[in-house]
Amino acid sequence: MEVVESGEGELFLPPRMNEDRQWMLKNKSWALEPKVMSESDAVRKFIHEGDYIGTELYGFVRCPMSLAREIVRQKIKHLRVAGQGIMEIDILIAAGLVDKIDLTYLGYEVYGLSPVLRRAAQSGRLQINEWSNAALAWRLKAAALGVPFLPVRVMMGTDTFKYSAAKVVECPFTGEKVCLLPATMLDVGIIHVHRADEYGNCQIDGISGFAFETARASRRLIISCEEIISTDKIREYPEKTIIPWYLVDAVVEAPFGSHPGEMPYYYWRDEEHLSWYVEASKTEETTQEYLQKWVWDLKSHEEYLALVGKEKLDLIKSKAKGR
């Protein structure tokens, strides 16, 4: 198979199929062992300086915000990040923790562009590879498959390709050009779900974004959940288990863990809080003030929720849509 063209971007972590297989053999367990712990312990135990991490979410929806805030609290530096990033990657960048990013989109959707990304990109201190949304998800899919790449038909002919780490080859079967996406085999995946049991069997309501792929692309997987349910409940609806226990290393109970983002069927986004963040993000100084107030001055997600206040939490809960 001849390589016709190569993207110029650095491959932050080359696919490590066999190393990961060995790693899984040594480190993953099929035993039903309780994995419930605090976000502070989960992050301290499983995320290390320089790690390549991935977050899964869709915009301001089902975001692992409590875990992202904990990474900021612990100031784990020199991270390489892959993700469809909105606020969770924004705060990691704002705290100066990210060196390299496999980026598809970083902005505030209806609320506009991200000044945090702008400052980091325009100063040249953040190394950015470009990808499309499907490419990012398919790269995780390749990792989940345990293969080094996946041939797809996006990105070709564009600068998005040129500044990625993908390659175009001639297909050995059809002779047509296809784009090969390198597998993203993550050190740590971070996902927020609706429900999980103490072993890490996870249920998600509504669309599932790229949670399936991210969970299977990660060595270590930290799950935060709105509620911990019994394993009996999991066994009642085994078809709902989108992430099974043997993939999971930590389960953190985090009600309103997606705040200020929304959680389908559970609570609506905190539009007031988001407007504070969007406003604060406009200058470096006010961004740091936001992080000081909402992350560094607090010890835990519990303290964060206390600062948000019960009234606000009740309000966003009342605005959630039913079925």
Nearer to another protein, 160 or 201 (CB): 160
Least Å distance between CB 97 and another protein? 18
Task: Report 49-68 residues binding another protein (CB under 8 A).
Answer: 57-62
Strand partners, 227: 195
287 near another protein, rule: CB under 8 A:
no
| Amino acid at residue number 71 | I
> Which residue do the tokens 């779900």 mark?
193
Strand partners, 296: none
- Residue from 145, 264, 273, 278 that binds another protein (CB under 8 A)? 264
> Which residue do the tokens 């390659």 mark?
167
Let me know: does 84 contact 105? Beta carbons within 8 Å: yes
Q: Are strands 186-196 and 218-228 parallel, antiparallel or unpaired?
A: parallel
> Segment contacting another protein (CB under 8 A): 41-49, 69-77, 177-185, 288-296?
177-185
237 near another protein, rule: CB under 8 A:
no
- To which H or E segment does residue 71 belong? helix 65-74
Query: How many C-beta neighbours within 10 Å does residue 17 have?
Result: 16
User: What torsion do the CA atoms of 255, 260, 261, 263 make, to the nearest 10 degrees?
Assistant: 30
Least Å distance between CB 271 and another protein? 9
Distance CA 310, CA 42 (A): 26
123 near another protein, rule: CB under 8 A:
yes
- To which H or E segment does residue 155 belong? none
- Residue from 105, 246, 290, 296 that binds another protein (CB under 8 A)? 105
Distance CA 248, CA 321 (A): 29
15 near another protein, rule: CB under 8 A:
no
> Segment contacting another protein (CB under 8 A): 100-108, 232-240, 280-288, 301-309?
100-108
> Segment contacting another protein (CB under 8 A): 64-72, 160-168, 224-232, 245-253?
160-168
Contacts with another protein by CB under 8 A: the residue count is: 64
79 near another protein, rule: CB under 8 A:
no
> Segment contacting another protein (CB under 8 A): 28-36, 103-111, 215-223, 250-258?
103-111
Cα-based angle 269, 273, 279 (whole degrees, multiple of 5):
125
Q: Is residue 133 helix, strand or coil?
A: helix
308 near another protein, rule: CB under 8 A:
no
Strand partners, 283: none
> Segment contacting another protein (CB under 8 A): 38-46, 128-136, 291-299, 309-317?
128-136
Q: What residues line the site for another protein (CB under 8 A)?
A: 57-62, 84, 103-107, 109-110, 113-114, 117-118, 121-124, 127-128, 130-135, 137-138, 141, 152-160, 163, 168, 176-179, 206-213, 262, 264-265, 268-269, 320-321, 323
